[in-house]
Amino acid sequence: MRTLAIVTGALLVTACGHDSTALNGGADFFDDFGDGTAARWTTDAGSWSVAKGQYLGGSTQASGCQGLGPNQSLIRDLPARDVDLQLDMTSLTGVDKGVILRSAGPENQLELNFRAERPGAFPADLVVQEIANCARTFHVPEFAVLIPHQVGQTVHVRIRLIGSQLTVWMDGATVLDHAFPFAERTGQVGVAVQGVTAFDNVSARVLTN
């Protein structure tokens, strides 16, 4: 049974978790990596490649801050303050799968970490943190929002950020809908890794840039 935490409002979600505003039609950005390249992405650090139609990221560099960076890859030329984003993610080694929002670089950005279960240790959870001048603020602390899934299991995630309101769906279920005191900024959108993660079907619609 899925645990829903900090859900403050009901939103219409389709049964499979996909929305008509994203996934190619009507999106400002869509990449399924079917051409074997990641031409519209730019990396800070980490090992990044396209294999079998997926974007594979592996961490190679220790963070100089308290966040997921610099092992991240950002969509080039897509600044967004408010965004509606969808993607598929699979933890291959390690448990951390990061989505980056409003990034001005690893030292200043919003980070959502979709962590897979560590069997016998910790449950799968969603962490929302903000990095400001390399200092981290937890907006959603560890284990406050449980999102049961395993290493090797692909999850479909939709994220909508409008001002201070952050709504997150996973596999069609609303797991987070809450207003947070985020710092006001516009920045890039992307993904981040600790361990090795596969990303696919990345779709973004800029609501405010």
Say yes or no to pLDDT of 142 above 90.
yes
In-domain check, residue 99: yes
pLDDT given for residue 173 in this prediction: 98
In-domain check, residue 17: no
In-domain check, residue 168: yes
Distance (Å, whole) CA 95 – CA 165:
26
Domain that holds residue 119: 29-208
In-domain check, residue 202: yes
In-domain check, residue 14: no
pLDDT given for residue 20 in this prediction: 37
What are the pLDDT digits (tens) for 179-209? 999 998 999 999 999 999 999 999 999 999 9
Q: What is the mean pLDDT of residues 50-70?
A: 92
CATH number for the domain that contains residue 82 = 2.60.120.560
In-domain check, residue 84: yes
Say yes or no to pLDDT of 25 above 70.
no
In-domain check, residue 71: yes
In-domain check, residue 68: yes
pLDDT given for residue 17 in this prediction: 40
Domain tally for the chain? 1
